[in-house]
Structure 1
């Protein structure tokens, strides 16, 4: 059972005499990694009454497509691709690729509507590097998003042009100390 916490609406954007621009943050590493700090940040922001969307492009789940998001509390929607497995490379069948592209189109649409204040795009770099989502579309998406929307991109080997666009880059490295 998940408890639903009622968070008062702060309406911070409408109370300010100006719009605070959103940031593009990148969390990357040399290998595939789970970015715990990103998930903790998303949960914290949702707990403060802000709307958050987490999109996991390469992880599937049983009946977990964008039309059936997992809702954590009242402010966090979590969506995955609508297939049961995970994508580990560019060699996927046409139906899986279509589901991934449907998720990408859905993400673009809800972000352009300004529905969310924070959007986490998990493993997007791998989807780009596998040739499943065009890098030019991602750059265009980041450039044209509503200015108040914060976007966090995760994944190994983030493309250089996205790094150049980022306001903040966090690189996770493994320590070889005993």
Structure 2
């Protein structure tokens, strides 16, 4: 490791623009996209801001760690899906659940009552063609000015990346699955 001196001056000029709602995208093949979005949800909730989380691939009855914690905190989190496609018994039903879920999420965004709306794993239904991209982009462009939206999932479409204010690509450098270590409660769920 190379030791370096800490900076003594600000590295970039202070932003002078007006505060407004942001579109943030967490994408890439690395771990941490949903986790980062949940961290933003906790940060906003900790500031007393209304937050709503939609998970496009989780079933409504899901009870993963994030569901348990957000429920304790009073942050609404809703599974909209049927699980991952390889677990689905009916892909047309999965597609319809995604469309129905998007209708709820879109209504929440457009209502403007939430400071932050998380659209977790929305890239899957977009990539599978279950949700058309243009209505999602239109909603993001037309949302009330104060609403922040975070979208997560691998392979974000270029059109979404172009529209977003902040895009973070998680890159897999090393993953425990590669060493044969299975998913672990509290880390993956």
| CA shift for structure 1 position 99 | 2.1
Corresponding residue pairs, total: 152
Task: Please tell me whether residue 52 in structure 1 is matched to residue 47 in structure 2.
Answer: no
Aligned residue in 1 for 2:131: 133
TM-score, normalised to structure 1, is 0.74
1:58 is paired with a residue whose SS is coil
Aligned residue in 1 for 2:67: none
Q: As a proportion of its length, which structure holds more helix?
A: 2
Closer, same or farther in 2 for the Cα pair 1:87/1:175, shift >3 Å? same
**1:96-128 deviation per Cα after TM superposition (whole angstroms, max 9, x unaligned):** 322221111011112111121101111111210
1:43 is paired with a residue whose SS is helix
Aligned residue in 2 for 1:5: none
Aligned residue in 2 for 1:145: 143
Aligned residue in 2 for 1:165: 163
| CA shift for structure 1 position 25 | 0.6
**1:119-165 deviation per Cα after TM superposition (whole angstroms, max 9, x unaligned):** 11111112100101101111111011111000111111100010001
For structure 1, the residue ranges without an aligned partner over 5 or more in a row are: 1-18, 65-69
Closer, same or farther in 2 for the Cα pair 1:87/1:176, shift >3 Å? closer
Aligned residue in 2 for 1:87: 85
Alignment of 1:5-16 (within 5 A): none
Aligned residue in 1 for 2:7: none
Contact persistence 1:72–1:78 (CA under 8 A) = no
Closer, same or farther in 2 for the Cα pair 1:92/1:56, shift >3 Å? same
Q: As a proportion of its length, which structure holds more strand?
A: 1
Task: Please tell me whether residue 30 in structure 1 is matched to residue 26 in structure 2.
Answer: no
Aligned residue in 1 for 2:100: 102
2:167 is paired with a residue whose SS is strand
Aligned residue in 2 for 1:21: 20
Superposition RMSD in Å: 2.7
Structure showing greater Rg: 2
Closer, same or farther in 2 for the Cα pair 1:25/1:56, shift >3 Å? same
| CA shift for structure 1 position 37 | 1.9
**Partner residue of 2:119 out of 118, 121, 144:** 121
TM-score, normalised to structure 2, is 0.70
For structure 2, the residue ranges without an aligned partner over 5 or more in a row are: 1-17, 64-69, 176-189
Aligned residue in 2 for 1:41: 40
